[in-house]
């Protein structure tokens, strides 16, 4: 059965790039446009990994990670932050919130896939 | 971002220029008591001008930067919408190419090859059936040949019967002569000999007729054999030709199938290449996200310009404060999220793109 990945980004083009790359590797994708939208779509369903932007309207990525980690179903779901932000302070903030990896845009699909396969249980 | 800095610098230059001019005029006026009265009038005039200028600066800050912001925002949104639409279309192209690849990889390799193999087997079976029919005809010919041999035997027997009848007739004639010589005692035997002669004649005729019939049958069978042999030869040639044609058709079909496979393979390779190119284009569209963020930072910074100018003018024309460029730049720098923004802010002409950066915690 295909693993499900939640991709959260306010940029449709970034969501598309991530989705195409991951679908090509056999993953199923759920898309969210920001933290609030993502939380409403999670709805207790099995999600094997989350990829989230940091700077988003309504609810930013760091807040989303904190909120998601409060939910029992997603407490141990690995989260990758995919962002243009490369500041160390922000990375530490993401790490403290519970993120497992920090990928700076623009990314290469092959490297994203490598990161995903490193964090998702086969 | 460079445009933004230029705007600030022009504004600051204008303010400093007007302040410097005003102070210079004041110093000149204070040295001449007779001109003091006149200076008062000049001060009032200058204050009026500064007020007008300050008002214009305030109007500028309230009217022009919002237009700049709106233009930047509009451009950013247009770009974002266009890139999103392009990404979706490119995504559709990738999906369609995936379908093409799926078709090219499955149809010819599986079903068409199976159809070809099935056709080959069926045509081979036709050839086998034709060969079997030919063998059956050969057996029939062998049987007819055996019949011809039987006819020869029958001809011999018919000839024997005729000869036996002739010999019997001669014996009967001889017996009849001897019976006549025997006189009255041989009269009865003479009748018997007469009857035997008649029977021998009848047997001879029957034997002759039988021989004729056998000859007719022999001729008919020989004719039938010749016809069957010719037909068999023609059939054998037809079957050989059919086999050759079947093999030719199969060879042609195999050639067509091989060509289709090759074309299919090339089509698949091309489709894969196009898909990779299109996908790479989609990957490049990530620039929109970065440019969008930079434009947002510039827009926000321009949005803060009225506030900075208002602070500069807040205490009136007698205590005009220079714009706090450092604070404005710090505020702008604080909004940056990308390394290249910092690079450009610090004077680099062109930002150096970062290598792909992945950090695992």
Could you report the per-residue pLDDT of B131-152, keeping only the tens digit for each?
Answer: 888 888 888 888 888 887 888 8
- Using alpha carbons, list the distances in angstroms from residue B323 to B13, B58, B103, B158: 10, 13, 67, 147
Q: Which residue of A has its CA nearest to B287?
A: A106
- Does the CB of A109 have a partner CB in chain B at under 8 Å? yes
Measured in residues, chain A has a length of 122
Give, for A45, the enclosing helix (H) or strand (E): none
pLDDT digits (tens, 9 = 90+) for B281-293: 988 888 888 899 8
Contact A80, A52 (CB under 8 A): yes
Per-residue pLDDT, A92: 95
Interchain CB distance below 8 Å, A102 and B358: yes
Q: Which residue of B has its CA nearest to A103?
A: B358
Per-residue pLDDT, B1: 44
- Does the CB of A107 have a partner CB in chain B at under 8 Å? yes
Per-residue pLDDT, A77: 95
For residues B120 and B108, the model is more confident at B120
Q: Residue with structure tokens 């010919």?
A: B141
For residues B320 and A48, the model is more confident at A48
Q: Can you give the pTM of this predicted structure?
A: 0.64
Per-residue pLDDT, B142: 87
Q: What value does the mean pLDDT of chain B take?
A: 82
Interchain CB distance below 8 Å, A13 and B359: no
What value does the mean pLDDT take over residues B320-336? 86
Which residue in A54, A84, A101 is closest to B290 by CB distance? A84
- Residues from chain B contacting residue A102 (CB–CB below 8 Å): 357-359, 361
- What whole-number distance in Å separates Cα of residue B226 and Cα of residue B209? 25
Q: Which residue of B has its CA nearest to A20?
A: B91
Interchain CB distance below 8 Å, B361 and A55: no
Q: Which residue of A has its CA nearest to B293?
A: A84
CA A91 to chain B, closest CA, distance in angstroms equals 9
- What whole-number distance in Å separates Cα of residue B267 and Cα of residue B97? 11
Interface probe with A: pick from B81, B85, B337, most Cβ of A within 10 Å:
B337
Interface probe with A: pick from B96, B98, B283, most Cβ of A within 10 Å:
B283
For residues B280 and B119, the model is more confident at B280
Per-residue pLDDT, A41: 94
- Does the CB of A58 have a partner CB in chain B at under 8 Å? no
Residue B29 pLDDT > 70, yes or no? no
Interchain CB distance below 8 Å, A105 and B279: no
pLDDT digits (tens, 9 = 90+) for B259-275: 888 888 898 899 999 99
Q: How far is CA B13 from the centre of its chain?
A: 66
- Does the CB of A100 have a partner CB in chain B at under 8 Å? yes
- Residues from chain B contacting residue A11 (CB–CB below 8 Å): 80, 84, 288-289, 292
- Residues from chain A contacting residue B99 (CB–CB below 8 Å): none
What value does the mean pLDDT take over residues B11-21? 52
Interchain CB distance below 8 Å, A111 and B279: no
- Per-residue burial over B7-41, b if 16 or more Cβ lie within 10 Å, else e, is ebeebbeebeebeeebeeeeeebeeeeeeeeebee
Residue B40 pLDDT > 80, yes or no? no
Interchain CB distance below 8 Å, A104 and B361: no
Q: Which residues pair with A52 in a beta bridge?
A: A8, A81
Other C-beta atoms closer than 10 Å to the C-beta of B78 total 10
- Residues from chain A contacting residue B286 (CB–CB below 8 Å): 13-14, 17, 105-107
Residue B24: band (very low, low, confident or very high) from pLDDT cuts 50, 70, 90: very low
Per-residue pLDDT, B318: 58
Contact A50, A71 (CB under 8 A): no
Per-residue pLDDT, A63: 97
- What whole-number distance in Å separates Cα of residue A7 and Cα of residue A19? 8
- What whole-number distance in Å separates Cα of residue A66 and Cα of residue A47? 16
Question: With a cut of 70, which residues of chain A have pLDDT below it?
Answer: none
Residue B4 pLDDT > 60, yes or no? no
Interchain CB distance below 8 Å, B88 and A16: yes
Residue B181 pLDDT > 70, yes or no? yes
State the ipTM, two decimals.
Answer: 0.91
Which residue in B80, B279, B337 is closest to A20 by CB distance? B279
Per-residue pLDDT, A60: 95
CA B272 to chain A, closest CA, distance in angstroms equals 13
For residues B1 and B174, the model is more confident at B174
């Amino acid at each position: 059965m295909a693993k499900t990945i939640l991709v959260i980004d306010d940029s449709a083009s970034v969501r598309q790039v991530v989705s195409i790359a991951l679908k090509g590797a056999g993953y199923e994708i759920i898309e969210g446009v920001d933290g609030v939208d993502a939380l409403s779509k999670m709805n207790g369903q099995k999600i094997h990994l989350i990829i989230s932007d940091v700077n988003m309207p309504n609810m930013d990525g760091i807040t989303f990670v904190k909120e998601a980690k409060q939910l029992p179903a997603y407490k141990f779901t690995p989260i990758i932050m995919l962002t243009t932000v490369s500041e160390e302070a922000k990375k530490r903030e993401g790490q403290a919130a519970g993120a497992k990896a920090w990928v700076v845009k623009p990314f290469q699909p092959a490297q994203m896939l490598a990161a995903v396969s490193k964090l998702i249980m086969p | 971002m460079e445009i933004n800095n230029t705007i600030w610098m022009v504004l600051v230059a204008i303010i400093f220029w007007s302040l410097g001019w005003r102070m210079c005029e004041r110093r000149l006026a204070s040295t001449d008591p007779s001109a003091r009265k006149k200076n008062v009038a000049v001060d009032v005039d200058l204050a009026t001008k500064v007020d007008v200028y300050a008002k214009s600066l305030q109007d500028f800050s309230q009217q022009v930067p919002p237009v700049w912001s709106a233009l930047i925002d509009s451009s950013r949104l247009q770009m974002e919408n266009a890139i999103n639409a392009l990404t979706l279309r490119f995504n559709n192209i990738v999906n369609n190419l995936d379908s093409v690849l799926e078709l090219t990889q499955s149809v010819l390799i599986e079903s068409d090859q199976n159809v070809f193999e099935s056709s080959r087997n069926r045509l081979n079976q036709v050839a086998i059936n034709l060969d079997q029919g030919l063998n059956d005809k050969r057996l029939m010919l062998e049987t007819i040949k055996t019949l011809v041999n039987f006819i020869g035997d029958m001809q011999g027997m018919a000839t024997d019967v005729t000869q036996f009848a002739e010999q019997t007739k001669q014996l009967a004639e001889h017996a009849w002569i001897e019976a006549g010589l025997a006189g009255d005692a041989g009269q009865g035997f003479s009748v018997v000999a007469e009857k035997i002669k008649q029977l021998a004649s009848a047997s001879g005729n029957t034997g002759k007729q039988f021989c004729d019939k056998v000859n007719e049958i022999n001729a008919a069978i020989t004719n039938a054999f010749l016809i069957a042999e010719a037909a068999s030869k023609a059939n054998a040639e037809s079957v050989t030709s059919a086999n050759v044609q079947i093999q030719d058709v199969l060879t042609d079909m195999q050639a067509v199938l091989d060509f289709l496979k090759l074309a299919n393979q090339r089509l698949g390779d091309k489709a894969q290449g196009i898909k990779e190119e299109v996908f790479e284009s989609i990957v490049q569209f990530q620039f929109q996200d970065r440019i969008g963020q930079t434009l947002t930072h510039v827009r926000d910074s321009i949005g803060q310009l009225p506030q900075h100018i208002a602070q500069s003018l807040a205490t009136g024309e007698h205590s005009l404060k220079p714009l706090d460029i450092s604070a404005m730049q710090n505020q702008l720098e604080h909004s940056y999220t990308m390394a290249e923004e910092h690079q450009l802010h610090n004077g680099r002409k062109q930002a150096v793109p970062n290598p792909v950066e992945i950090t695992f915690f």
